[in-house]
Structure 1
C-alpha cells in the first residue's frame, strides 16, 4: 500500500485519507461515492478533504474504516466486525510486499497499482465465507438474500475492469464463476425463483470472466465462458442476458461476419422486446458495431438510432440491470458512434463524435481510452490529417504501456502500419523511431 496512505491513517488525518482514496481509487471514487460508503454527507467529505474540518470523534473513523474496509489497527481502533467475520483480513500495509513499485510516479500507473491492490483485497475478502452464505455442501439452503449478497460483492469486483486489463482480472472473475457453479451444483435452493436468480447471476459472472479472457487474447477460454453464460441464461429464462451472451460471442467471431451478424440479429430482436432502456442501449450499441465491421452501413445507422432513442426513453420498470447500465450514457454512445463510422470510413461523422468523447474520458480508463484513440487516429488518417493521427497513436501507446490487455497493441499496430507510408511527416518519423510495434504478448 502507498506509504502516504498508511501514514495518513496512523496520524488519523481523515482529510488526507479521503483525498488519497479519491485520487487513487479511480473514477468511481468520487466525493459522492465516498460519502455513501462512509455514511457521511458529500459536503462533509469535501470539508475533510479541503481541510475545513478536522475529524475528532471515534465514530467517524469507525464509519470510514467500515466503509472503505480499512483494518481497525490502521486507525488505532479495535478490529472491525467484518474483519472477525471473514477470518484474517490482511492489513492494507502488508500488501505492499507483492506490489512492483510504479515507474517515475506516473499518475495513471500509480492509479492502476492502487486498483490492483484493491483487487487483491477484494478477492481476499470474497474468498472467505460470507455471512449468511451456506457452505458448498449438499443440503444447505440458498435463498434470495444469498444471491443479493453475492451480486453486491461481485459488483464491486466488476469495477476493476474499468482500470485493469483482462490478464489482471481474469483470475479473480473466474474464481467467482467457479464458486457460484459449486453452489448451483451442491446447494439446496429455497425456491425455484431463487435458483433462477442464481443462474442469472452465474450468467453475469461468466460474461465478465469471458470478457476478461477476450481482452487478454485467450479466445478459447472466452468462447467457453460465453457458451456457459448463454446456457445458464436460457435455463434462467433471462432473455436479456442470453442476448448479451450472443452479442459478446459475435464480437469474437468478427470478421467472420456472416455468423456474427446472424447472432447480432438475434440479439437486437431481443433488445426490441426489452422494457429496460439500459438493456436496449447496450445491445443496440454492440449490434451497431457488428454491422459496421460487416460493412452494413444502413443497419449500423439503424442500431445507433435505436440506441440513441433508448437514452431518452422513460422506463416503465427501471432502467435495467446493473450489468447493462454502463453503456446507458451519451459518452458511450458517442464512442461507439465514432468507432462505427471509422470502420465504415466516414471520418466526417467519426471524428467529431470521438473527439467529444475523448475530451471527457479519464486517463485512468487506460485500456479503453487507448483503444478509442486508435479509432480516432484511423479516422484522422481517412480525413487526411496525418499529424493528428500520429499524435493520437503516441498518446494511446503511452496509455496502454502498462495495461495487461492484448487488444490496444493489436489495434495500434494496424494504425501504425497505415502511417508508415507517411514517414516524411515529422510526427510520423518520431513515432516510428520509438519502435512501438513489437507485439504485446500476454501469457495464458
Structure 2
C-alpha cells in the first residue's frame, strides 16, 4: 500500500525511479537513428512496470502522453524504411499499453480506439505478434457485450501470429482465446486453447521475449485456467487451481490479486461454501482499496449480490457491512 501511495503521489518521481531520464523529446534529440527504436522500447518496458502496482486511473494519462509524443516524433522523423517500421512497432506497443490503462479505468470506448490504432500501426510495421495482440485486446473488450463475436476475434488473433513467433506471445494469445471461449460457454475449445498456451510456454527458446508478453508464465496460465473453469461453472476444477496459485501471489500486486480472487469467491459459492466465499470477498475489498481500477469491484459485485441471500451467516454479514462502508 505504501509503495502504491508513493508512486501515485508523484508519477514524475516514479518515472525517475524507473530510470527514465527526461522526456521522449530529450531522449530522442539528435538520436533519430538505428538505435532509437531500442531506446524507446526500453523506455516503454520500464513504464509498463507501473502497471504492476497502479491502476489505469493512475497510469492512463502518462501512457497516453508517451504514445502521443512518440507519434509526433515518428511523423516528423526522417529515417530509413527499416528504422521507420521499428518505430511504428514501438508506437503500436505504446497504443496497446495506453489502451489497457483506459480499459482498466473503465473507458472501454477509448480502449477500443487505441487497440484499433495499434492494429493499423502493427500491420504497417509488419509485426504479426503485435497485430495478434491488438486483436486479442479487442476480443477482451468485446467479451463484455458479445462473447460470440469475441471468440471470432480471438481466433483471428491466434491466426495472425507466426508459429515461429516468441513463445510467450503465442502463449498469451492462446490463453486469451481460451478466456473468450470460456465466457462463451465453449468448454472443449477453452480447454484446447489452454493446452496450446501451455505447450507454447514450455518450448525452449534462446532469444529474449518481448517485454509486453514476458510476464506470461506458469503462474499466469494457472490463474487463467482457474478463471476459465469458474466461468464454465466447474468449481471442482477451478477451486484447487486458484487456491494454490493465489497463496503464492504477492499482495503488492493488489489489483490483480483482488481481481483473480473474485473467481475463487465465485467458485466457492457454486460449491456451496458460503463462508469461504465471504472470506475471499473480504480480502478482495481490502486489497482493492485505493487501487485506481474499476475491475475488481465490478467483478465482485455479482458475488456480493449472491451473498445477500445468506445474510444470516456471520461471515457474510461482516463482508456486506465492509462493502457498504467503502
Shift of residue 271, structure 1, vs aligned partner: 4.2
- Would you say 1:260 and 2:150 are equivalent positions? yes
The higher radius of gyration belongs to 1
The residue that corresponds to 2:29 in the other structure is: 134
The residue that corresponds to 1:407 in the other structure is: 295
| Contact 1:374–1:392 (Cα < 8 Å) also in 2 | yes
Q: Say if 1:122 and 1:185 are closer, same or farther in 2 by CA, change over 3 A.
A: farther
The residue that corresponds to 1:425 in the other structure is: 313
| Contact 1:277–1:319 (Cα < 8 Å) also in 2 | no
Whole-Å separation in 2 of the counterparts to 1:311 and 1:436: 42
Whole-Å separation in 2 of the counterparts to 1:322 and 1:171: 21
Whole-Å separation in 2 of the counterparts to 1:193 and 1:437: 56
Whole-Å separation in 2 of the counterparts to 1:435 and 1:293: 26
The residue that corresponds to 2:11 in the other structure is: 119
Shift of residue 318, structure 1, vs aligned partner: 2.0
Three-state SS of the structure 2 residue aligned to 1:217 is coil
1:216-227 equivalences in 2 (<5 Å): 216-227=105-116
- Would you say 1:229 and 2:118 are equivalent positions? yes
Instruction: Give the counterpart of 2:50 among 141, 160, 163.
Output: 160
Q: Normalising by structure 2, what TM-score?
A: 0.94
Whole-Å separation in 2 of the counterparts to 1:175 and 1:275: 29
The residue that corresponds to 2:103 in the other structure is: 214
Instruction: Give the counterpart of 1:283 among 154, 173, 176.
Output: 173
Shift of residue 155, structure 1, vs aligned partner: 1.2
Whole-Å separation in 1 of the counterparts to 2:303 and 2:319: 12
Q: Say if 1:362 and 1:435 are closer, same or farther in 2 by CA, change over 3 A.
A: closer
The residue that corresponds to 1:5 in the other structure is: none
Post-superposition Cα deviations, 1:131-152, rounded to whole Å, max 9, x if no partner, equal 4x237xxxxx722211111111
- Would you say 1:199 and 2:124 are equivalent positions? no
* Unaligned segments of structure 2, at least 5 residues: none
Q: Normalising by structure 1, what TM-score?
A: 0.70
Post-superposition Cα deviations, 1:383-405, rounded to whole Å, max 9, x if no partner, equal 11111100000000001010011
Shift of residue 130, structure 1, vs aligned partner: 3.2
Whole-Å separation in 2 of the counterparts to 1:115 and 1:161: 11
The residue that corresponds to 1:8 in the other structure is: none
The residue that corresponds to 2:255 in the other structure is: 367
Whole-Å separation in 1 of the counterparts to 2:109 and 2:202: 38
* Unaligned segments of structure 1, at least 5 residues: 1-108, 136-140, 439-444
Three-state SS of the structure 2 residue aligned to 1:188 is coil
Normalized per residue, which structure has more helix? 2
| Contact 1:122–1:157 (Cα < 8 Å) also in 2 | no
The residue that corresponds to 2:136 in the other structure is: 247
Whole-Å separation in 2 of the counterparts to 1:274 and 1:427: 51
Shift of residue 112, structure 1, vs aligned partner: 0.5
The residue that corresponds to 2:221 in the other structure is: 333
Whole-Å separation in 1 of the counterparts to 2:158 and 2:189: 11
| Contact 1:166–1:215 (Cα < 8 Å) also in 2 | yes
